[in-house]
Structure 1
């Protein structure tokens, strides 16, 4: 066999689990090449794909698996069973499945999480946003500062996704805390084990609740599919039976966990990132306000490109030795997709890729992934953002940051990409049109 003369991939780069300099770290790696070797917390080796075209190549590659069972280092025990980050990798739902198995796990969700159901949520989302905006002044501290992330950016998607999935109101604070901690890459093994134990029991209890108290929500709808309604026609029973074969009790719990984590955290970071970008760029904010409703989708897409809510997305495993952007990656290795890094790739987005510019010519970004695993909830995230952002800046026209943008601490996460808080002063609210 001829000797492989290709140069070794750059690295390894040790990724900072606190994400203290996320974009600086990404820029240094992009300068080294489109594919780099990295080390995750716990000295776990991986590959990180960090330029747009290379990430797109990875997402479309037919010889790459999403199933954690194809991770050689996990299978042979090199990665220990108590690795704190394992909860982001070892899950049984459609995100971590391939081919027919992926379709089998995705099909029930597609049946109940329809575009029509999402479209019908528009007025409900408006009501949720209006209610949260009403209460924002009450969230101010002694210095009249409100954390916009905690009290608005997080609360909009938490309320929307919990209403959609059917999580009772008094369960939501616990759920929110578990999701936030899941993405924290500074966890200890004990903390990570607690999260997995608590989230499993919470969602198991949700399934039990909706079996005895059905409601108009996705959990009830998924249970009905899995239970194979005895009143269905023969053709319907055949279809439902096919669905039921693919959603075990564990898979149902993990599917609900996927909907809740993705539906909450990614949209919270989108809203926080977009709000922060507009507040830090007053000219862009004026353009959004003055440009009419067509400008707000531009705000959303530019924020997704420049500051993708997902930093590094886990995970893929080559089924054979593959080549990505000219770099050889062995079968069974762990590969991450650098979504936020790809959004600032100058090869794709030009020399000003770091700049926030809502007038930028539309260029495809990868913030929601791509290929067969394109995010199923992308339309819901976009809907929430295009409702929440104009409402926020219309209600509080004097909204201003209460800190320098560069001083805001990030989420301590390799996976979620956002500021941990967005301190603002609201200023006087605009008079509501319904007010006298």
Structure 2
């Protein structure tokens, strides 16, 4: 019998959440633990239980509350994932038609050009930090999607970097930058609303209304159940959530591949296998070890345990993705794994990640560009000494030093 510690959280969790969560999955798959902030939560770790819980409407983002949120200082204080259906559905369908795999594919030339241009800087440095590339690349792709004008991108990028810095270097500056982002998207929505009308189906990535922000504003009905603040928050959340999580997936994927030169060689030899490899990389590493915190709106049975009404619940994506019942030999990176696409990195059900198609496109394009441009790329530091930062909810690499030319 595996000994279960009192909590999986603590020093070293961002670097390796998997070994910390495995004892719970094996011996106590629904466990009462305490977060680093001292709050009691129910931790769910088995694949089967996590899947069922993702689909259970009694595990609520709002704890069963149905009234409107109280007024907030900024629109970004309440995001899409803070709502339950039916209101969540109203918000989501403003953007969902523009983020399907078919529509997102139209951005491939823009994304490929961004990767090629940014890798020029990587080629000039030895060693180079691939995380700098990953962040700049992901941000540029999101700006193309949202139609952010070129002139606005440098200061918006500085704001986003500040907001996601770990550890937080200057809380006052981070709060001020959130205010700037909030104000910026308020103004974008206002301008798009003033000029709305007509078809928004032109070429992607432009600054003239052919973008997802324009599509969202065009689909929005002022005076209806979705408020202006919620539209602003939806647009800003797409930028922020897509920027950081995808950049970290690029870095984590490259770190995993650099640790396995034979996998790198196999991908170069047969680039057609990259889409399946991306699914395995998404299963193998994830920036978000857990889904968004949920609250039981009533007593809810999960995996043979009854979570009482009011109980806060963490669904462990990281533990489920390494569940041997679902994935044989789960701690091995197998780029040909048949079950890889059954990962839960993007969640499941109502709150399935809205930007999953774009994240897959970015990850595929970035990896292909790196492996093609730098056939002899090697790590510049021992990979077991990489600086992992973050917390139990969001983890990532501070940097990924590489020698691009071997």
TM range (shorter): 0.7 to 0.9
Deviations 1:83-131 (A, max 9, x none): xxxx99x6242x2222221211111112443444312112221111111
Q: Distance in 2 between matches of 1:40 and 1:173?
A: 36
Residue in 1 that maps onto 2:188: 206
Structure 1: runs of 5+ lacking an equivalent: 1-9, 76-80, 227-239, 429-436
Q: Distance in 2 between matches of 1:312 and 1:224?
A: 34
Q: 3-state SS of the aligned residue for 1:418?
A: strand
Q: 1:203·1:256 contact (CA, 8 Å) conserved in 2?
A: yes
Q: Distance in 2 between matches of 1:325 and 1:23?
A: 20
State the shift of 1:47 in Å. 2.0
**Are residue 145 (structure 1) and residue 127 (structure 2) matched?**
yes
Q: Distance in 2 between matches of 1:102 and 1:355?
A: 37
Residue in 2 that maps onto 1:56: 51
Q: Distance in 1 between matches of 2:100 and 2:26?
A: 41
CA shift in 2, pair 1:297/1:25, >3 Å? same
Q: Distance in 1 between matches of 2:151 and 2:62?
A: 34
Q: Distance in 2 between matches of 1:184 and 1:22?
A: 20
Q: Distance in 2 between matches of 1:263 and 1:318?
A: 28
Residue in 2 that maps onto 1:280: 259
Q: 1:68·1:96 contact (CA, 8 Å) conserved in 2?
A: no
CA shift in 2, pair 1:341/1:108, >3 Å? same
State the shift of 1:190 in Å. 5.5
Q: 2:8·2:21 contact (CA, 8 Å) conserved in 1?
A: no
State the shift of 1:176 in Å. 4.0
Residue in 1 that maps onto 2:202: none
Q: Distance in 2 between matches of 1:177 and 1:37?
A: 39
Deviations 1:325-365 (A, max 9, x none): 11221222221221122211223222x21111112222411
**Are residue 337 (structure 1) and residue 325 (structure 2) matched?**
no
**Are residue 362 (structure 1) and residue 339 (structure 2) matched?**
yes
State the shift of 1:258 in Å. 2.1
Q: 3-state SS of the aligned residue for 1:328?
A: strand
CA shift in 2, pair 1:359/1:112, >3 Å? closer
Q: 1:316·1:336 contact (CA, 8 Å) conserved in 2?
A: yes
Q: 1:185·1:414 contact (CA, 8 Å) conserved in 2?
A: no
Residue in 2 that maps onto 1:232: none
Q: Distance in 1 between matches of 2:373 and 2:28?
A: 45
1:48-127 equivalences in 2 (<5 Å)? 48-67=43-62, 70=65, 91-93=78-80, 95-127=81-113
Q: Distance in 1 between matches of 2:34 and 2:85?
A: 29
Q: Distance in 1 between matches of 2:154 and 2:304?
A: 46
**Are residue 407 (structure 1) and residue 368 (structure 2) matched?**
no
State the shift of 1:192 in Å. 6.5
Q: 3-state SS of the aligned residue for 2:291?
A: strand
CA shift in 2, pair 1:209/1:408, >3 Å? farther
**Are residue 27 (structure 1) and residue 18 (structure 2) matched?**
no
Q: 3-state SS of the aligned residue for 1:403?
A: coil
Q: Distance in 2 between matches of 1:176 and 1:39?
A: 35
Residue in 2 that maps onto 1:251: 230
State the shift of 1:401 in Å. 0.5
CA RMSD between the two structures: 3.0
Residue in 1 that maps onto 2:147: 166
- Per the normalisation by structure 2, the TM-score is 0.84
CA shift in 2, pair 1:192/1:40, >3 Å? farther
Q: 2:131·2:398 contact (CA, 8 Å) conserved in 1?
A: yes
Residue in 2 that maps onto 1:222: 216
Q: How many residues align?
A: 383
CA shift in 2, pair 1:60/1:305, >3 Å? same
Q: Distance in 2 between matches of 1:175 and 1:340?
A: 31
- Per the normalisation by structure 1, the TM-score is 0.79
Q: Distance in 1 between matches of 2:63 and 2:161?
A: 22
CA shift in 2, pair 1:92/1:401, >3 Å? closer
Residue in 2 that maps onto 1:353: 330
Q: 1:146·1:425 contact (CA, 8 Å) conserved in 2?
A: yes
State the shift of 1:184 in Å. 6.2
